[in-house]
Structure 1
Amino acid sequence: MARRFLITGTSPRVGKTTIGCALGFAMRARGLRVGVMKPVDTLDSQDAQALALAVGSTMPMDLICPYRYAATPASADAPDLTHISKCFNKIAAQSDVVIVEGSDLIDFADIAATLDLELILIVGNRPGYADAAMLMIQRCETRGLKITGYILCDCDPTPAVNAASLQQIKVPYLGRMRHREPLARTIVEKLI
Structure 2
Amino acid sequence: MARGFLITGTGARVGKTTVGCALGFAMRARGIRVGVMKPVDTAESQDAQALALAVGSTMPIELICPYRYPADSALVDAPDLAHIVQCFDQIAAQNDVVLVEAGRILDFADLAATLDLEVIVVVSNRPGCLDATMLTIQRCGDRGLKIRGYILCDCDPTPAVDEVSLRELVGPLYLGRMRHREPLAKVIVEKLI
TM-score category, normalised to shorter length:
over 0.9
The verdict on how the C-alpha distance between 1:163 and 1:62 changes in structure 2, with shifts beyond 3 A counting, is closer
Q: Distance in 2 between matches of 1:21 and 1:65?
A: 15
- How many Å apart are 1:169 and its aligned residue? 2.6
Q: Which amino acid aligns with 2:98?
A: V
Is 1:60 equivalent to 2:60 in the alignment?
A: yes
Q: Which amino acid aligns with 1:128?
A: G
Q: Distance in 2 between matches of 1:153 and 1:10?
A: 10
- How many Å apart are 1:73 and its aligned residue? 4.5
Q: Distance in 2 between matches of 1:171 and 1:103?
A: 25
Is 1:135 equivalent to 2:116 in the alignment?
A: no
* Residues 15-65 of structure 1: CA deviation (Å, up to 9, x unaligned): 000110000001000110000000000111100000000000000000000
Structure 1 counterpart of 2:42: 42
Alignment check: 8 A CA contact 2:123 2:133 kept: yes
Alignment of 1:83-162 (within 5 A): 83-162=83-162
Is 1:13 equivalent to 2:13 in the alignment?
A: yes
Structure 1 counterpart of 2:177: 176
Q: Which amino acid aligns with 1:186?
A: V
Tell me the C-alpha RMSD between the 2 structures: 1.2
The verdict on how the C-alpha distance between 1:100 and 1:73 changes in structure 2, with shifts beyond 3 A counting, is farther
**Runs of 5+ consecutive residues of structure 1 not aligned to the other structure:** none
Deviation >3 Å, runs of 4+: none
The verdict on how the C-alpha distance between 1:171 and 1:147 changes in structure 2, with shifts beyond 3 A counting, is farther
**Count of aligned pairs:** 190
Secondary structure at the counterpart of residue 11 of structure 2 = coil
- How many Å apart are 1:162 and its aligned residue? 2.3
Alignment check: 8 A CA contact 1:102 1:108 kept: yes
Q: Distance in 1 between matches of 2:74 and 2:165?
A: 33
